[in-house]
Amino acid sequence: MNQEKTIEKMVVACLDTAQAMLEKDEMVIPFGVRAINDGEDLKMNCPGDKKPKANFNEQIEMVVGELKTFVKNDFSYVIAIVTELESGDEKAIGLQVETDISSVLFVYPFRKKNEQWIIDNPVQTNQLLPSVRSPAIDNLPD
């Protein structure tokens, strides 16, 4: 699988996981995802599950620390860190994707409407991949 397809697959998996967290806990707990070998195999780590009372910075440090360990021990083709972002009343899913040649941050605003979590299309950036569209996002009602 080529790197762009791997990133698209990873972004969809990350958004699906974030959606499930929103539905279960009404928040996105920081987590990491890595693609092993040629990108066919995705692995997730969410150390915050083991320490749910850890503050935000501690949770990010745990995710980054685990990813660093995995990168040292495995050949990680692509890695991603996912977290919840907040500015005033607005919330978004921050999804940073790292490869050996690039780093890109996707920001997906989300909201709750009629008891359903809606993840909007990403805020556009001039990064390596300006947007990755998820079929799950495209089919959600407004």
Residue 95 in domain: yes
Residue 138 lies in a domain: no
CA angle 70, 86, 124 (to 5 degrees): 80
Classify residue 132: in a domain, yes or no.
no
DSSP string for residues in 106-120: EEEEEEEETTEEEEP
Q: What's the mean pLDDT in 10-32?
A: 92
> 50-58 long-range CB contacts below 8 Å, 24 or more apart?
56/30, 56/83
Assigned domain for 137 exists:
no
Task: Note the pTM of the prediction, 2 decimals.
Answer: 0.79
DSSP 75: -
Q: Between these two residues, 131 and 88, which has the higher pLDDT value?
A: 88
What is the number of other CB atoms lying within 10 angstroms of the CB of residue 55?
Answer: 9
4 pLDDT more than 90: no
pLDDT number for residue 117: 94
Give the per-residue pLDDT at 38. 65
pLDDT classification of 7: cutoffs 50, 70, 90: confident
Question: Is the pLDDT at 132 greater than 80, yes or no?
Answer: no
What is the reported pLDDT for 25?
87
Residue 136 in domain: no
Range of the domain at 117: 3-127
| Alpha helices in the chain, H assignment, sequence order | 3-25, 56-73, 135-138
**In this structure, is residue 99 part of a structural domain?**
yes
Pairing of strands 41-45, 90-98: unpaired
Number of domains in the chain: 1
**Does the residue 22 lie in any domain?**
yes
Residue 94 pLDDT > 90, yes or no? yes
Q: Worst-scoring range by mean pLDDT, 21-30, 59-68, 117-126? A: 117-126
3-state helix, strand, coil in the chain (%, to 5): 35, 35, 30
Determine the pLDDT at residue 16: 95
pLDDT digits (tens, 9 = 90+) for 105-121: 889 999 999 989 999 99
pLDDT tens for each residue of 62-88: 888 888 888 777 776 788 999 999 989
